[in-house]
Amino acid sequence: MNEAQFIAALRTLPLHPGAQDLRDDAAVIEIGGEALVVTHDAIAEGVHYRAGTDPADIAWKLVAVNLSDLAAKAAEPIGVLIGATLVEGAERFVAGLRDVLDAYGVKLLGGDTIAHAGPATFGCTAIGRATARPVPARAGAQAGDVLYLTGAIGAAMLGFEAGDGAAYLRPRPRLAEGLALGRHVHAMMDVSDGLLLDARRMAEASGCTAAIDLDAIPFAQGVRDRLAAASWGDDYELLFAAPDGIVLPVSATRIGTMLRKSAQPLLLDGKSPPERLGYEHR
């Protein structure tokens, strides 16, 4: 059973309305006139970081990838819960937690710890308060919308190839940009599994076709294989669809357009894209 099949099986279970049919990166729970945004991501040795990685960097990445999901929902962080494997150098993990929590003004709510032999796995649940209604989601993009991207793509790939560089292990979630964009976008998500794959996911959720111009994508300095970088992931920039002609409150690059739905949910330079668009668990 691969990732898509597993999620499809989960949809047969009783789902809370806030789960949004498990078609987004976070749940939205309405409570007392406000909306809580709740997300959970796990990272594992050998998948999200190499064996021997400084536990401080593991802690930073664990929290940062979850804060990135809150950013994509224009949510103000309330706090995080941590599920940690006790590893050698656990004091470094605590130091890394302090670094990332202090950097983003986020509080620790609690969590759990385990000890076991074998590769370590860590989990984080992040809780935020929605600041925009409707809460931005993957769905909602409309034909004629412009596709924008914050920052540049490929720094994480270069960092990994160079030996787990800072861009790969210590991503910087776009919380401020997400909060500023919340009331201006029709759809928004973070780029975690590859720009092309995530653009296709947004298009499919919105019932559109995403048409992207490879030359328009901003790439990190040093990227030579642009297609590989656009399919690599771990960039944690924000991808969003907004009406043409609006004045954006943040710096972002126009990389394409949302079109009426066609047989192909993603077009790259007007053609069908390569088969591999990003990272999917199998």
pLDDT given for residue 117 in this prediction: 81
Determine the pLDDT at residue 272: 87
Cβ proximity of 153 and 219 under 8 Å:
yes
Q: Which of 56, 50, 55, 105 has the alpha carbon at shortest distance from 76?
A: 105
The reported pTM is: 0.95
Output Rg (C-alpha) for the chain, integer angstroms.
18
Spatial separation of the C-alpha atoms in residues 70 and 173, rounded to whole Å? 9
Strand segments, DSSP code E, in 10-64 are: 27-31, 34-44
**pLDDT tens for each residue of 12-35:** 999 999 999 998 999 999 998 899
Domains of the chain, earliest start first: 3-130 (3.30.1330.10), 146-268 (3.90.650.10)
Alpha carbon 48 to its chain's center: 14
Residues 6+ away with beta carbon under 8 Å from 11:
21, 22
Provide the residue type at 189 as one letter: M
Q: Name the E strands within 71-145.
A: 75-85, 107-114, 121-130
Percent of the chain with pLDDT over 70: 98
- Report whether 281 contacts 225 (CB < 8 A): no
Going by C-alpha positions, the residue among 22, 21, 110, 106 that lies closest to residue 63 is 106
For the segment 196-208, what is each residue's pLDDT rounded down to a tens digit?
999 999 999 999 9
Residues 235-280: tens digit of each pLDDT: 999 999 999 999 999 999 999 999 999 999 999 999 988 777 775 5
Share of the chain above pLDDT 90, in %: 87
206's tokens: 């919105």
Identify the pLDDT of residue 3. Answer: 83
pLDDT tens per residue, range 130-155: 999 999 999 999 999 999 999 999 99
Look up residue 150 and give its two tokens: 């914050």
Above 80 in pLDDT, residue 79?
Answer: yes
Query: 10: part of which helix (H) or strand (E)?
Result: helix 3-10
pLDDT at 281: 47
